[in-house]
Structure 1
Amino acid sequence: MKKQVFKTLAKVNKAILPSFTKKELDISKATKLQLAIIGYRAFVTINSLD
């Protein structure tokens, strides 16, 4: 059940949130909001794979 929720969240994130790798964002120059989005996406991705 939990895994399915994270898989759905990952699909929503992919559709809505920006992809910083496509924009070639330098992590050292990222704003706090961008870092928060990166962290959130990583958290959801890790939990959807387990």
Structure 2
Amino acid sequence: MKKKMFTILAKLNKILLPSFSKKQLDLGKATKFQLAIIGWRYYVTTKALG
């Protein structure tokens, strides 16, 4: 049940949240908000795969 929920969240993240890797964002110059988005996407993706 949890894995399915995280899979759906991962799909929503892909649609709604910006992809910083495509924009070649430098993590050293990223704002705290951008880092929070990156962290959230990482957390959801790892839970969906695990």
TM over 0.5: yes
Q: Which runs of 5+ in 2 are unaligned?
A: none
2-side partners of 1:34 and 1:4: how far apart?
Answer: 26
Q: Which amino acid aligns with 1:7?
A: T
2-side partners of 1:6 and 1:38: how far apart?
Answer: 16
**Residue 7 of structure 1, CA deviation:** 0.1
When the two chains are superposed, the root-mean-square deviation of aligned CA atoms in Å is 0.2
TM-score (normalizing by structure 1): 0.99
Runs of 4+ residues over 6 Å off in structure 1: none
TM-score (normalizing by structure 2): 0.99
Q: Which amino acid aligns with 2:39?
A: G
Identity across the alignment (%): 62
1-side partners of 2:47 and 2:13: how far apart?
Answer: 13
Q: Which runs of 5+ in 1 are unaligned?
A: none
Map residues 13-24 of structure 1 onto 2, 5 A cutoff. 13-24=13-24
**Residue 9 of structure 1, CA deviation:** 0.1
The number of equivalent residue pairs is 50
